[in-house]
Amino acid sequence: MRRAASQPLPPVEVPLGPHSGTLVRTILTSLEDSKAEDIVTIDLHGKTNIADAMIIASGRSNIHVGAIADRVIKAFKDTQHVAPRVEGLQNCDWVLIDAGDVIVHIFRPEVREFYNLEKMWGVDRPGERRAS
């Protein structure tokens, strides 16, 4: 079932420390420059100690997901952050980039809908609003 295109929700304001905040801005800029879609930032403070923030985005195809991931990884190198751990580049259905303080998930839309990470972390997916 395909949903009608909707306006993406603005990123959640994430109260991060100086290092994490800079890293999030770098990642968001890279995602926007590579035309990633439905970008969501989730504040993980108080929910887990694995990271400070999680960023989730979509690419239109496997090739687009791979290109987005490559651009994010390049942004790490260009800004001299520690090289992140990367999983999923072979198939590019779902690429996970673990930068320590920030975790980035880049999905094809169908895969993102199936795993629904936003719901697991208590956030609406782009285009969805919870009933109050």
Distance CA 47, CA 64 (A): 31
User: pLDDT value at position 2?
Assistant: 44
What are the domain boundaries of the chain?
A: 18-116
Task: Extract the residue ranges of the chain whose pLDDT is less than 50.
Answer: 1-18, 129-132
Architecture of the structural domain at 18-116? 2-Layer Sandwich (3.30)
User: pLDDT value at position 64?
Assistant: 97
- pTM of the predicted structure, to 2 decimals: 0.77
User: pLDDT value at position 109?
Assistant: 96
